[in-house]
Amino acid sequence: MEIHLERKPAEAVECDALVALTFEDQPNGRFQESLSEVYSSGEVAGKIFEMTLVHHPAGFKAKRLLLAGCGKKEKFTSAELRRVSGAALRHLKSRSLKSIALLLDAKYAGAELVEAAVEGALVGDFETDRYKSDKKDVKVVDRFTVAVPGGGAELDAGLKRGRITAEAQNLTRELANEPANRLTPLRLAESARSTAAAYGLECDVLDQDRMKQLGMGSLLGVAMGSAEPPALIVLHYRPAGVPKGAVQLGLVGKGVTFDTGGISIKPADGMEKMKYDMSGGAAVIGAMRALAQLKPPIPVTALIPAVENMPGSRAQRPGDIVTSLSGKTIEVINTDAEGRLILADALTYAKQLGCTHLVDAATLTGAVVVALGHVNIGAFSNNDDLAERVLDAARAAGEKMWRMPLDDDYKEQLKSPFADLANVGGRPGGAITAALFLREFADETPWVHLDIAGTAWLDEAKPYASKGPSGVAVRTFVNLAMNWKQ
């Protein structure tokens, strides 16, 4: 889909449909008179995602006018615009319209809102039907335009940022949507290599032998049950002129390309979705693609430990003890708590590579879904300053997060009589004890853990997005790096 910015009056925009924003109890003044009958009938209430399509609007070159409900005006933000833009595109796409323009009046024609409108449209355009063979009824939008009354170069920059970030988010969704027979750990590594080559990133992939030499027993223990070899993917973005000892941001993403639970096997119901257990790793790859193009002021290193967790004859067993890269020993009580085991070695290796600040994203626990549902990401941190940076980045990106506690009192649940710590702490506070386990490996390095288990997958289509992977955390990562201030 082509993306454009047009600086011309709304009446002069040529397209199949022009989208105009309207709010609850506040009709869009530009159209109130020309569409008085529509407004007086009560057909347009302005409620969020309400769509009213008018054919052949008088005085406009656009063939149709779509009044897109945005809810209450006082609550309208770039986050709401992003969703409304996606909902409008999907509504019009379903009607086989090819060219769509979204009108931003002078009050809303800022760079941040242009960026959000583009992101919403591109994310809304994404479909998960790649492997359907019958493509007869596929609908395609050829062109999406943001129409503004004027503005300078900052709007073009906003459009560019929106396109780059949304394309990166959609790459993340493509990867997370791949079935496990097509996306193994090594194929995920190949995808990362291709991304690195295309966008000028450095890429290193540690194979099983290198990880064994380094002593990554925690990661390799998870991989033992699968015929598919593991990989630790490392991507580097290095801007020029960065002084020695400067901040180096480390992004770490869980890359379990399929999770059966191992010997502690999961129930069959819903297990097919466990292809998305690498969503954190996919988000990190997507974010690095965007950052390579947007060029933040700080170096960023990404690590994606990629494994399959299978119950093969060589799989690790409950009660096994593994030695992590840090030297800490871990008693594996539950093999379905595998994400924290691979992240432990990745976090340690990130520190060895010089990362001064760490943020990980992982579909880590069902417990976070119990706590926060499918609305908020669970955020955990050992450092208030970094936590606030991440939460601010999430707010700017329109991704909801809620900071959770990490009291030392919970550590009692991770005690093991046989090793330095156990990999699970029981059902109470399960998301917290999982984060506390990871904190042991972040140690004193400022670190934030994002548990995206409840937000990385949409079980039902939304007005603004298709069913399936959401690509969550990409926009937060991009905002964090791009707006980093020393």
Q: Which residues are catalytic?
A: 266, 340
Amino acid at 169: Q
Task: List the one residue out of 249, 238, 217 whose CA is nearest residue 420.
Answer: 217
Q: Judging by beta carbons within 10 Å of its beta carbon (0-12, 13-18, 19+), is residue 478 exposed, middle or buried?
A: buried
DSSP assigned state of 270:
T
- Considering only the C-alpha atoms of the chain, give the largest distance between any 2 of them, rounded to a whole number of Å: 79
Dihedral sign of CA atoms 402, 406, 409, 412 in order: positive
Q: Rounded to an integer, what distance in angstroms lies between the CA atom of residue 312 and that of residue 231?
A: 18
Token couple for 359 = 């943020």
DSSP, collapsed to helix, strand or coil, labels residue 280 as helix
Q: Rounded to an integer, what distance in angstroms lies between the CA atom of residue 183 and that of residue 26?
A: 49
Q: Judging by beta carbons within 10 Å of its beta carbon (0-12, 13-18, 19+), is residue 373 exposed, middle or buried?
A: exposed
As beta bridge partners, residue 115 has none
Q: Rounded to an integer, what distance in angstroms lies between the CA atom of residue 324 and that of residue 332?
A: 12
Q: Rounded to an integer, what distance in angstroms lies between the CA atom of residue 51 and that of residue 43?
A: 10
CA atoms within a 13 Å half-sphere pointing along the CA-CB vector of 231? 23
Amino acid at 474: V
Q: Rounded to an integer, what distance in angstroms lies between the CA atom of residue 163 and that of residue 122?
A: 7
Helical residues (DSSP H) of 241-359, grouped into ranges: 279-294, 339-352
